[in-house]
Chains A and B, each alone.
Chain A
Amino acid sequence: MSAFTNIYNLIFKRNSTYVASVFAGAFAFQAFFDAGVTSWYEAHNRGKLWKDIKGKIGGGDEDEEDDDE
């Protein structure tokens, strides 16, 4: 049996496993996608963001508790 047959038997054959893996995949994808886009966005704007200039201010603020703003 080829790998394709295995994948078919494992996931696609039953609707329950198929739908379950689509929804599980949606959750995994969202986390992965968020992280990916954020890291690209921050790399694209490097040097302009608050986290880039934060360290340069007044010798760096000691313990900056992350506020929920």
Chain B
Amino acid sequence: MFNSFRSASKRAINSKLVTGAVATSALTASYVLYQDSQVAEAMTAAEHGLHPPEYGWSHNGMFDTFDHASIRRGFQVYREVCAACHSLDRVAWRNLVGVSHTTSEAKEMAEEFEYDDEPDDQGNPKKRPGKLADYIPGPYANEQAARAANQGALPPDLSLIVKARHGACDYIFSLLTGYPDEPPAGVQLPPGTNYNPYFPGGAIAMGRVLFDGLVEYEDGTEATTSQMAKDVTTFLNWAAEPEHDERKKMGLKAIIITSSLYLLAVWVKKFKWQPIKNRKIVWTPPRK
């Protein structure tokens, strides 16, 4: 009896100690990180790139789909601007059908490219126009060719880039629109690089590519730098998460079903336990 009381009070002291230690380390860590963020030296938080602001993407909400008109414009930006250097290996032409393009549009675009066909009877390699089942071709034959064309830097594949970078959409958008006219005073850039505060380290091999009016949108949207950056980011998010719209709908269904099941389970439990919990035991002591 007494022992158990002692161990209980001991446990209470222990848990207070743990809570205190966690709180102290959290406070210390945030203080150090804050101090680090004030200077841009090596081994500081700033070395990992400026934290992008949170933007109000139209697909941010729990039940919000992608803006498919934006995906369509974004694909145009990818095709006319990004595709000069970046591949999109995991997206096939057929994936665009029913998302941003019609079957015939996707077919037409696929046919503009040539793909390897089965060799002919003499064994000579043959080419054929692209089909819906083909994947969108990259600008370079292989990694070496890509590096050679870009002064040693490899433009990353964009299929999963939104998932592959911290900050996701916010980061991509900030990076595309975040090039200052000239680097801040005192910044020393390695040759062949450009300054971008959002890029970890600040020196990025890719230059600013989006300028107002660079593409002409078919739906009449004005092609400002930020509009194009927003559209292409939405498109890249779709490329990384093509299941996005369906997933959120599934989530909505799952929430409705599981919460109803929970409420019903509570009711059934109460019902089942009612006669047991309401039981009364009466004992009348025998008279002497």
| Direct A–B contact in the complex, CB atoms closer than 8 angstroms | yes
B58 to A69, Cβ gap below 8 A?
no
User: Contacts of A56 on B, CB cut-off 8 Å?
Assistant: 219
Determine the distance from Cα of A63 to Cα of B97 in the docked complex, in whole angstroms: 14
Do A48 and B249 contact each other (CB < 8 Å), given the known contacts A64-B103, A67-B94, A67-B98?
A: no
User: Contacts of B63 on A, CB cut-off 8 Å?
Assistant: 41, 44-45
A69 to B253, Cβ gap below 8 A?
no
A48 to B67, Cβ gap below 8 A?
yes
- Tell whether B68 is near chain A: CB-to-CB under 8 Å: yes
Determine the distance from Cα of A45 to Cα of B98 in the docked complex, in whole angstroms: 16
Q: How many whole Å from B66's CB to the nearest CB in chain A? A: 7
B64 to A45, Cβ gap below 8 A?
yes
Determine the distance from Cα of A39 to Cα of B69 in the docked complex, in whole angstroms: 20
User: Contacts of A50 on B, CB cut-off 8 Å?
Assistant: 68, 98-100
Determine the distance from Cα of A49 to Cα of B67 in the docked complex, in whole angstroms: 6
Residues of chain A at the chain B interface (Cβ within 8 Å) = 33-34, 37-38, 41, 44-45, 48-50, 52-54, 56-58, 61, 64-67, 69
Residues of chain B at the chain A interface (Cβ within 8 Å) = 58, 63-69, 72, 94-95, 97-100, 102-105, 218-219, 245, 248-249, 252-253, 256-257
